[in-house]
Structure 1
Amino acid sequence: MTERSIRLWRFACAVLLCCACFVAWPAIPASAAWQPMLAVGLMKGQTEVSLSVRQGTANLFADGKAAGSVSDGATLRISLRTDSFLVNGRKIPGSTFVVKPVGKAVLAVNGKLYRGSLRLLRRGNTIQVINDVQTEDYLRGVLPSEMPPEWPLEAKKAQAVAARTFALANRGRHKSEGYDLCTTTHCQSYSGIQVERNASTAAIDATFGQVAMYQGRLIDAVFHTDSGGMTENSEDVWGTKIPYLRATSEVRRATQPWQKEWALSVFSAKLHAKSDVGTLKRIQLSPLQIGKATTDRSVSGRVKTVALVGDRGTLRLSGNEMRNLFGLKSTLFDLRISGNRVIATGYGYGHGLGLSQWGAKAYAEQGASAKDILVHYYRDIQIKDLYKK
């Protein structure tokens, strides 16, 4: 093959590759960098949905075919018929109805504003609403809900990287339901445009495309409100050892103290849901010392198991079972009987894995960078640019 032929062949391959990419990826404004799209499940089980367009126009599609457009301020009232959507009284056949904003337009569903497109799916006799949104725009509706906008910038930057990594590592978490992520703390709190704040967006922009990786793979960047003084090893929460989720000490101990009480009879009755031990007589649990492991406590001091002795038998529960059964803020607690009361006293809020949000704030106030914070909470990770502006 001659040099000229080789050049022509390379040119042809480049053209084909560009065409393939054009077909594979949706059009993106010239000012926007490519970034992954996320499908967020906003609501399901709806019999009627109200959509409106703000600050521009939007195009409509039904099962991939153009179905018209709507202008700024227009409202669409959408319900179902046997084989179609009923949109402002007009029948539009199909099982999927999509509203795509043009330019800087934004969409509202039942009065709440969202960036990106809205996709309505027929689910039997009800409608499911999904928000298809770029990752960075998704984060704008997440970060202010997960960390106060007035907190230090470096703490918010660390949270932004963790939230971005978590979202991308957990795409498809709700695949069986037709989307990637939900809007609750099961995934991440997401409320769209209404919660956006400039201070939070600044942290997102400053970390654009940055993610946390371990051995070349996105980590499951879980986080929680406050560790109470020390985070936890993954195997003591999930039963599986994850190399980057290791227990680590905090700059402050015994944070977020809490207490909860029950009448002895009420506490005993709750135990009956697990086993009929009768009236509680004794609790076998070693005293809490943050950062000290015992046979019934993990390395951070969290409860691994507690023995609850009643007049009819003994019940052993894990710390997580106790937390779920009695609505405790964490498993970093002491438990005792005092007269006819049962008293739990503890520290922290959340499962204790990964980044502690209040801990990140404390480190940022001491001058730590976002990277310092992230490598403290996620062991042996690297911060990488998954995509750039």
Structure 2
Amino acid sequence: MWIKLEEKHFKVIAIGIILLSLISSGIFAYYNHPSQQETKKTQDAQADYDLEKLLDEAKALYYQGEYKASIDKYKQILDYEDNKIARKNLASVYETLGEYNLAVEEYEALLEKEEDVESRLDLAIAYYNLDKIGKSKIELEKILNSESEDEFILRDTNYYLSLMSFKEKDYQQAEEYVKVALEYDKFALGYYQLGEINFVQESYSIAIDNYRKALITDGSLKGVNRMIALSYLNLGQDRDAVMYLKRANKENSSDKVIQENLERIKEAHPEYFDDKDLTLPEERKREIPKEVTFKEIEPIESPGRELKIGITEDEEEVYFRVGSDFVIKEGEKIILEGKKSELIKATIRDGKYYLVAGEKEIEFSNSIQVRPKEYAPVLVHNIIYGRGYYWGGIEDRQYRGSLELIPQENGITVVNLVHMEEYLMGVIPSEMSALWPREALKTQSVAARSYTLANLGKHSDDGYDLCSDVHCAAYRGIAREHPNSNQAVLETAGEVMTYNGKAVNAVYSANSGGYTENSEDVWRFEIGYLRAVSTEKEDSRFPLSPVELKEWLRESPDSYSKAFQYTKESHYRWQRNLSIEYLENSLDIKEIKKIVPTYRGKAGSVKSLLVVGAEEEKEFTYNLRSKFGGLRSNRFWIQPQYRDGKLVSFLFYGGGWGHSVGMDQVAVAAMADDNYQYLDILKHFYTDITIEDRY
């Protein structure tokens, strides 16, 4: 009995052992099969892998200038999956750093999976910068043979084909390509390229015409004045070359070719240098006319408080007239009575100040006021405006109100004493076309009035409230007044935007490029009502990823800022190519190797740039537009350009014109066309504001 039971038990145990062995081997095989191992690895890591989170982290690192960390994040994503978005962004970061070999690998991998015309263009440009011209041409020709209708892609495709044909000295083909590019976009670099083609073929007169078109499109484009000067020299027209030689020398004082030609011509023809450069109005004065015609003006009701607007300062001589009989007072004392249109000169001589009226000469030592006896204009001759800007000049100006002349240590300061609404009548059409929609002009009126009140005393140390130039608000007096803008001012008289009970510093720019910026992302301080807002008709998801930002700046997305009836195409999207020679001279850095943004705002504006030279690094913060060749805005994407293995320039793709904080003037006009009312427009651009009537 015992023996039988033991045998039965043994059989059960044996069967159990066999079953356990089979189950164990199956489990072992399951977990050690390659595909199952990978599945388990993926499942275990899934808790740590969140695609959207990693993409956002990589984007944030890119905006902070942490490029290596951003690259690592995108690579981390690619370790998990062959993600198209991550790969395109990774390639774009490599491009920013000028690492085109690595960018090529990513674009080739993308194109193996599926056709993407933008990636193909980027691959072609990367090949071009690696001097792989043959490969670049193949990719560009594929784009031309595709069904792409994207204008910016076709523009850049033909532009780069022109550059390659130019390099191969096939000038006829180069000209054909760039002319096609210009059909898609009248861009400044296209006209410059056409000028270069004409120049090497010794068609200097035609070259000058195309170089000038480049300047008309972008007046601060660098290198153009140099080429116009050289074209005139090759034509033997030294006199015509002088002005452009001087401008080129101002752009790049280290250019020996320009310096040598200036010295040669000056020695042979000093008389050529008597004609002052029109870009330097302070070096010349126009002849004072014997007679003038005064504007007819009418007084307005409730003109508001009196303001002190600085017109010009540190002048050795000031010539002025009044449109009625007038008195000049020093304090309460009348020191001169004058007749309508009588020419008066104020001057400094041997440290003393004098009024000169015909044969009379009256000394004064304190501020004097010129007061019309009737409501009539006051006129000041030879007002310099836009000092230091390519659009600067000199003109006579008439103003409402009266004048104050302040004797200062270095000369005479001229101030216009004018009431708020009278002042705005001159400001609004100087800041916005009086032919734009009425609601836009009313929007501008409230914004300018608010800005004026918020900034009163900005120039108190100089003896006045605000200046008359772009530093404060453009103010050119009566000459700019127009019935449309005057009506807009009067219809909104006294209306002011406030935030927490204070007048809003209602800054504005010409064109935001499709999205405004937070104040702290452009300047130093966070201001509650100056928040980034979209002007796009279909809002994009800002901040954009690296590749989205690049594409957004290269193409021309639809937005209220893209209203070409109110702005030039080159004010909405622009390109600028700055040579290494220019940058090294301008920034005083030798052998520049790299230029990369180290911080971007929400809408992509660059707040700081790192420039890496052979022996030093410099980080530039604020005023980037002027430091880097007069860029139209701070919102740009930089692409290093190489030729024969050498870094030769940096290509900037930019959007908008101005600082992009607050109101976008072009978008305002387009929104008015779309039946937006001025109060709604103001509340779109200035967050959480209140409209108050101050009169």
Shared fold per TM-score greater than 0.5: yes
| CA deviation after TM superposition for structure 1 residue 124, in Å | 3.7
| CA deviation after TM superposition for structure 1 residue 373, in Å | 1.0
CA distance in 2, matches of 1:57, 1:281: 66
| CA deviation after TM superposition for structure 1 residue 151, in Å | 0.9
Cα distance, 1:305–1:30 mapped onto 2, change above 3 Å: closer
Structure 1 contact 139–204 (Cα < 8 Å) conserved:
yes
Structure 1 contact 52–75 (Cα < 8 Å) conserved:
yes
Aligned to 2:574: 258
CA distance in 2, matches of 1:317, 1:83: 43
Q: Deviations over 1:5-56 (max 9, x none)?
A: xxxxxxxxxxxxxxxxxxxxxxxx99632511111111222233222222x3
Structure 1 contact 236–298 (Cα < 8 Å) conserved:
yes
Aligned to 1:19: none
1:61 to 311, 329, 337: 329
Please tell me the residue identity of whatever aligns with 1:157.
Answer: K
Structure 2 contact 511–664 (Cα < 8 Å) conserved:
yes
1:71 aligns with 2:331: no
> Unaligned regions of 5+ residues in structure 2, if any?
1-297, 382-395, 537-557, 563-571, 643-647
| CA deviation after TM superposition for structure 1 residue 68, in Å | 4.7
Structure 2 contact 299–375 (Cα < 8 Å) conserved:
no
CA distance in 2, matches of 1:100, 1:375: 40
Aligned to 1:322: 624
CA distance in 1, matches of 2:660, 2:517: 5
Aligned to 2:668: 360
Aligned to 1:381: 689
Please tell me the residue identity of whatever aligns with 2:639.
Answer: R
Provide the identity percentage.
35
CA distance in 1, matches of 2:632, 2:310: 27
CA RMSD for the aligned pairs?
2.4
- Aligned positions of 1:192-341 closer than 5 A: 192-251=477-536, 252-253=558-559, 255=562, 256-271=572-587, 273=588, 276=589, 278-285=590-597, 296-318=599-621, 320-326=622-628, 327-339=630-642, 340-341=648-649
CA distance in 2, matches of 1:227, 1:351: 8
Cα distance, 1:281–1:179 mapped onto 2, change above 3 Å: same
- Aligned positions of 1:174-193 closer than 5 A: 174-193=459-478
Q: Deviations over 1:295-353 (max 9, x none)?
A: 832211112344444444544434x3532311211111000112223100110011111
Q: Deviations over 1:271-294 (max 9, x none)?
A: 4x3xx4x43334445xxxxxxxxx
Larger radius of gyration: 2
2:378 to 107, 115, 121: 107
Structure 2 contact 344–355 (Cα < 8 Å) conserved:
no
Please tell me the residue identity of whatever aligns with 2:437.
Answer: P
Q: Secondary structure at the match of 2:606?
A: coil
CA distance in 2, matches of 1:364, 1:160: 14
Please tell me the residue identity of whatever aligns with 1:322.
Answer: L
TM value normalised by structure 1:
0.82
Cα distance, 1:384–1:34 mapped onto 2, change above 3 Å: same
Aligned to 2:360: 90
CA distance in 1, matches of 2:337, 2:503: 39
| CA deviation after TM superposition for structure 1 residue 233, in Å | 0.8
Structure 2 contact 522–605 (Cα < 8 Å) conserved:
no
CA distance in 2, matches of 1:322, 1:122: 35
Q: Looking at secondary structure, tell me which structure has more strand per residue.
A: 1
CA distance in 2, matches of 1:30, 1:105: 9
2:305 to 36, 53, 78: 36
TM value normalised by structure 2:
0.47
- Point out which structure has higher relative CO (alpha carbons under 8 A, 6+ apart): 1
Structure 1 contact 78–87 (Cα < 8 Å) conserved:
no
CA distance in 1, matches of 2:626, 2:363: 46
Please tell me the residue identity of whatever aligns with 2:664.
Answer: S
Structure 1 contact 119–131 (Cα < 8 Å) conserved:
yes
Please tell me the residue identity of whatever aligns with 1:101.
Answer: P
Deviates more, 1:260-269 or 1:148-157: 260-269
CA distance in 1, matches of 2:650, 2:353: 58
